Amino acid sequence: MSKEILNLKPAQLWKHFYGLTQIPRPTGQMQEVTKFVMDFGKSLGLEVRQDKTGNIVITKPATAGMENAPVVILQSHLDMVPQKNNDVKHDFAKDPIETVVDGNIVKAKSTTLGADNGIGAAAMMAVLEDKSLKHGKIEALFTVDEEVGMVGANGLETGFLKGDILLNLDTEEIGELCVGCAGGVDVNADWNFKDAETPEGDIAYKVTLKGLRGGHSGTEIHLGRANANKLMFFFLKDAVSNYEVRLSSVDGGSLRNAIPREAVAVVTLPKEDEKDFLELVKEYEQIYKEEYKTVEFNLSFTAEKAETPKTVIPEEIQDGLINAVVGCQNGVISMLTDFVGIVETSTNLASVKSEPGHIAAKMLARSSSETRKDEIASSLESVFALAGAKVAIENGYPGWQPNAQSKTLNMMSELYKELYNEDAHVVVVHAGLECGIILASTPGLDIVSFGPTILNAHSPDEYVEIEATERFYEYLLKTLERIK
């Protein structure tokens, strides 16, 4: 099924995207894919450079007559978010992505597709390979490890790039020209403790919440999708308060920038409370299905008998954890006033995981306002510190402030109208893009970000629209020809 995409247009883009799907490239595993891209650049006889962080720049000289055009930096990141459904056997460290063509979309078989940002990277490779295209000098920048902390962009050294214009290919709606984005910061809370013995006579149940849609914690945070960690802990607070339930372990969510889709908790309780406990599980399943009936269509909340664990989390740690997770802000916090419908500030309670003697909760706070980003991070820190956790605020990255005087934006807006007889939408996105960080290392860049329509990024439901990809690539080529 994977090779079906080789029959799609534009053939050169899909050829390179197919090549990327065959190389495992989850964040943190960049060696094989960077070698693949560097070998590709060298095979074309182009200058290839790699910095100490692992970022790659492939330089393509200007075509005849375009030597005096501004130097254009094309930029995409090479890593992808590794998410799959629990019932799927897929090892992102070694298995290729199996793609499926379904009408006007390309998706993966029960895993993330990696169109974010593999389509952008594939488009850059196609441009580098195209000998018929007329353009000025191009620097194709392939960054690494964007999805966790924007490591590649943060590692760029001043002077590594020489360009005048940056075209970032990492936004996800055809017809949108992005001129700004939110910054972000991680808030990580940890508890260390000595496990307590399970109360004598207790029985155990494994409680599972699954079937949620999840998605991108920036671009999809406003869609009202359920957060598996919040729902699980609302239930746990009720169960602990009324049925002498003790929490033995919890595993909810995974990646900082993905809305958590699943959560599992192992709990113990007195035998005499078993019936009431199981009725409570059913009650909460019905509550959640009713609350999210227009958003979460496959929600499942169940309990199954489990082997009684030898230890549980100490009661004071358990109670602090539950209160902190229930109390922490999650989702949209504020909206922009000058860009209607765009989120300004949000948080994502991304993961809550326990192991013997340790619990870690990870959150990502985003805002296009640096002061509000700091405020929400401080608020989260306070909630978890009051619950006895050690809290670290780290891996912050700046937002990208809009430039209303952008000559590139004006040109691209006119070009889009000329090509497609409709206006492009100028937007600021709530997702984190590398543009602001790259601007800090290469001051003076004129920046616009655009891309094809990609939905449900960071989840196994991710897909990219085929027709939108064809338009995106055509628009990219016409833009490069227009920059003189």
Catalytic residue among 79, 176, 461, 465: 79
In which band, very low, low, confident or very high, does the pLDDT at 85 lie, cut at 50, 70 and 90?
Answer: confident
Question: How far lies 72's CA from each of 141, 168, 293, 314, 473, in Å?
Answer: 10, 10, 47, 58, 16
| CA 465, chain centre distance (Å) | 18
Q: Span 185-397: which CATH code?
A: 3.30.70.360
Per-residue pLDDT, averaged over 425-433, amounts to 89
Specify the residue for token string 């497609």: 420
Catalytic residue among 116, 139, 145, 146: 146
Orientation of helix 228-243 relative to helix 315-327, angle to 10°: 130
Residue 57, pLDDT above cutoff 80: yes
Orientation of helix 466-482 relative to helix 407-420, angle to 10°: 120
Per-residue pLDDT, averaged over 16-35, amounts to 97
Residue of higher predicted confidence among 180 and 289: 289
> Which residues, including other chains, have CB under 8 Å from residue 391's CB and lie 6 or more apart?
187, 188, 189, 190, 380, 381, 384, 385
Per-residue pLDDT, averaged over 424-445, amounts to 91
Is pTM beyond 0.95? Reply is no
Q: Which stretches of 237-310 are assigned E, i.e. beta strand?
A: 246-252, 263-270, 300-306
First to last CA, the chain: 42
Q: Which stretches of 175-323 are assigned E, i.e. beta strand?
A: 176-181, 183-192, 196-197, 202-210, 246-252, 263-270, 300-306, 311-312
Residue 260, pLDDT above cutoff 80: yes
DSSP 20: H
pLDDT tens-place string over residues 375-394: 999 999 999 999 999 999 99
| CA 46, chain centre distance (Å) | 32
User: Is 273 one of the catalytic residues?
Assistant: no
H helices of 22-53, where?
31-43
Residue 1, pLDDT above cutoff 70: no
User: Is 79 one of the catalytic residues?
Assistant: yes
The CATH-assigned architecture of domain 2-182+399-482 is 3-Layer(aba) Sandwich (3.40)
pLDDT tens-place string over residues 294-342: 999 999 999 999 999 999 999 999 999 999 999 999 999 999 887 778 8
Q: Would you state the pLDDT for residue 176?
A: 96
Backbone angles phi, psi at 315, to 5 degrees: -60, -40
> Token digits for 106?
């390309």
> Token digits for 2?
């994977």
As annotated, the residues of the chain forming the CATH 3.40.630.10 domain(s) are 2-182+399-482
Question: How far lies 369's CA from each of 221, 269, 334, 373, in Å?
Answer: 17, 46, 10, 6
pLDDT tens-place string over residues 443-481: 999 999 999 999 999 889 999 999 999 999 999 999 999
